[in-house]
Amino acid sequence: MKTRFESKWANRAAQAGILLAALGLFFAIRPDIYGSAATRIHADYQRKVLTPKIISEYMRESARPKLQIGAGASNAAGWLNTDIEPGAGQAFLDITEPLPFGDQSVYDIFGEHVIEHVTYEQALYFLKESHRVLAPGGKVRMVTPNLLKFAALLREPNPEYFARKLDFHSWPADTPDPACFILNNEMRSFGHQFVYTPAMLRASFEKAGFTQIKQWAPGDTDDPDLTGMEIRPRGDWKDVNALEAMAFEATR
């Protein structure tokens, strides 16, 4: 009996070894498939294991929860920093899906150059979800390109801005019509899906249920929780960002 039992497990171990060797050989021949599989496994682990833990711990320990979407490299202290491609310590969050928070449980929501990366309908859904999860008196602040400012360049060229913008993105400096080139790329590049005018963004906030809505210049706010959250107004890109972007805050 003992010999038969040992033989059975020896055979299974041998089969497992053969399978692992075959997989190793296959992945050595097709590293692209191995990379794709590893990426999917990492993403699933991030979404299904790490993210729920990060969110639950933050919500449990924070007396005034604050959510940053599309955080990228900006890990703001005291905020729940999230991204669709999260970095270390960040939670996965897709703003086209229901926000994983209870009603009236979050005090501030912030996103810098995020909502233009989803469709108009998806952004409107996100703003409705923001209205749902914000506590009374809570704010959502969105910073995004201002389509009116880009369109104005067609009427009033700004050579200094053109030169800096083209150089920053490594776009051809000898384009015959920089305003046309920049406007088209702002609409179609970087994964942009929908670029707003102030009137369109304000209307989206209103459709989402907000009534207290205010437009700000990039980097400006009177809310201490939101002060200093933006990256672009801090560095050499400050003047260019001021010519391109707008900020809106809406209070629940």
Tens digits of residue pLDDT in 54-72: 999 999 999 999 999 999 9
- Band (pLDDT 50/70/90 cuts) for residue 44 is confident
Q: How high is the pLDDT of residue 113?
A: 96
Are 90 and 205 in the same domain? yes
Structural domain span for residue 47 = 1-61
Are 20 and 70 in the same domain? no
Strands 106-112 vs 91-92: parallel, antiparallel or unpaired: unpaired
Overall number of domains in the chain? 2
Q: How high is the pLDDT of residue 140?
A: 98
- Band (pLDDT 50/70/90 cuts) for residue 205 is very high
Residue pair 204/230 in contact (Cβ under 8 Å)? The answer is no
Residue 219 predicted with pLDDT over 80 = yes
Are 49 and 155 in the same domain? no
Are 74 and 171 in the same domain? yes
Are 70 and 52 in the same domain? no
> How large a percentage of the chain has pLDDT more than 70?
86
Tens digits of residue pLDDT in 128-156: 999 999 999 999 999 999 999 999 999 99
Instruction: Give the mean pLDDT of the chain.
Output: 91
Are 122 and 230 in the same domain? yes
Are 90 and 26 in the same domain? no
Average of pLDDT values for 102-118?
A: 98
Residue 26 predicted with pLDDT over 90 = no
Residue at a domain's end among 27, 61, 95:
61
